[in-house]
Amino acid sequence: MARLLPRWITAPYLRLRGKLRWRGKPPEEVFTSIYKEKHWGGRDSASGPGSDDPQTDVLVTGLASVLRGLNAGTLLDIPCGDFHWMRKVDLTGIEYTGADIVRELIARNSQLFGRGHIRFQHLDLMQGPLPGADLILCRDCLVHFSYTDIRRALRVMIASGSRYLLTTTFPARTGNTDIATGNWRPLNLQAAPFRFPNPLQILDEGCSEGEGAYADKCLGLWKINDLAL
């Protein structure tokens, strides 16, 4: 019967259930369960509605433009999810590494999409180490992490020696809230407690989820050496 109810009714219950279920569990177990049980319920993508076609159309051309603007030759996409929208991006001349904590996704992606300059690797963003890259794309990830795990992930990215970070941020939000890893909330990386500097570039995703409630969802570009924890 719950499937017949509007999402705005079921969402609070699902968030509470997630908090109780995932609290204290290892991140790999959390995100593997989410993937296997299709918890995020995307229409086009197993990675959730944020990776469905209407939410990523802008990114297909936008990411290619960012890569060209940075003269990037290497891209680390973590987490890469099911590679649904990324496979449409023009990656000509780019050494692409898609990484994810969910082993089943990496095996699937390697079989379906791995070739030449496109490879997939099982990695834990909170543990590392990560391969160095001209650009790390970390989309729809930190929004699912606790403050502690966000700091862990950022330290790992800094330690990788990579040049730039392109990651999800909601710049219109005035504050942030902490969560248990595996849940979700909008995150403004320029607000406390992270206080990132102004981004070098903002890629507006044109997000229409939540009937426009998340219209400020963007990818922000930062030079990794400018990030201080």
Domain count within the chain: 1
pTM listed for this prediction: 0.86
Q: Is residue 196 part of a domain?
A: yes
**Confidence at residue 1, expressed as pLDDT on a 0 to 100 scale:** 38
| CATH code: domain of residue 175 | 3.40.50.150
**Of the candidates 69, 54, 67, 61, the residue with the CA atom closest to the CA atom of residue 89:** 61
**Which residues constitute the domain of residue 144?**
26-226
- Considering the domain boundaries, does residue 8 fall inside one? no
**Is 5 a domain residue?**
no
Q: Which of 62, 65, 60, 63 is nearest to 44 (CA)?
A: 60
Determine, yes or no, domain membership for 11. no
Query: Considering the domain boundaries, does residue 191 fall inside one?
Result: yes
The strand ranges marked E within 44-158 are: 74-77, 95-100, 118-122, 135-138
Evaluate whether residue 172 is within a structural domain.
Answer: yes
Q: What is the pLDDT of residue 106?
A: 96
Give me the tens of pLDDT residue by residue for the chain, a chain 229 residues long.
344 555 445 455 555 555 556 666 777 788 877 676 665 555 545 555 656 566 788 999 999 999 999 999 999 999 999 998 999 999 999 999 999 999 999 999 999 999 999 999 999 999 999 999 999 999 999 999 999 999 999 999 999 999 999 999 999 999 999 999 888 999 999 999 999 999 999 999 999 888 899 999 999 999 999 998 7
Return d(Cα 120, Cα 2) in angstroms, integer.
36
Domain assignment present for 17: no
Cβ–Cβ under 8 Å, residues 183 and 144: yes
d(CA 220, CA 170): 9
| Beta partners for residue 223, in sequence order | 164
The identity of residue 192, as a single letter, is: A
In single-letter form, the type of residue at position 61 comes to: T
Question: What pLDDT shows up at residue 164?
Answer: 99
The verdict on residue 135 lying in a domain is: yes
3-state secondary structure string across 155-209 = HHHHHCCCCEEEEEECCCCCCCCCCCECECCCCCCCCCCCCCCCCCEEEECCCCH
Rounded to whole angstroms, how far apart are CA atoms 70 and 56? 21
Give the whole-angstrom CA distance, residue 188 versus residue 53.
Answer: 24
Q: What pLDDT, on a 0 to 100 scale, did the predictor assign at position 18?
A: 55
Structure tokens at 212: 């426009």
